[in-house]
Amino acid sequence: MKWITAWRRRPWAGYAVVLAALAIIGVAYAGVSPSSDRAQAAAAAASDQDVAKGKQLFNQACSSCHGANAEGTKNAPSLLGVGAASVDFQVSTGRMPAMNLGAQIPRKKPVFNEEQTRQLAAYIASLGGGPEVPSKDQVNPDTGDAAMGGRLFRANCAQCHNFAGSGGALTGGKYAPPLTKATPQQIYEAMLTGPQAMPVFNDTTLTPEQKRAIIAYVTQTRAEPNPGGNGLGRVGPVAEGLVGWLVGLGLIIIAAMWITARKPKKKHNV
pLDDT for the residue 136: 94
Contact assessment for residue 104 and residue 47, using Cβ atoms and an 8 Å cutoff: no
pTM: 0.72
For residue 46, the one-letter residue type is A
The Cα–Cα gap between 247 and 241 comes to 10
Per-residue pLDDT tens digits for 135-190: 999 999 999 999 999 999 999 999 999 888 888 888 888 999 999 999 999 999 99
pLDDT tens-digit map of 178-233 = 999 999 999 999 999 999 989 999 999 999 999 999 999 999 998 877 766 666 66
How many other β-carbons are positioned within 10 Å of the β-carbon of residue 239?
Answer: 13
Residue among 66, 101, 68 at smallest CA distance from 86: 66
Q: Give the integer Cα–Cα distance in Å for 230 and 107.
A: 24
CA distances from 39 to 10, 28, 45, 122 (A): 43, 18, 10, 19
Q: 60 or 3, which is more confident?
A: 60
Across the strands, what pairs with 176? 168
* Cα dihedral 89, 91, 97, 101 in deg (nearest 10): -20
Residue scoring higher pLDDT (219 or 270): 219
Q: Which helix (H) or strand (E) holds 169?
A: strand 168-169
- Give per-residue pLDDT as tens, 220-260: 998 877 766 666 666 666 667 777 778 888 888 888 888 88
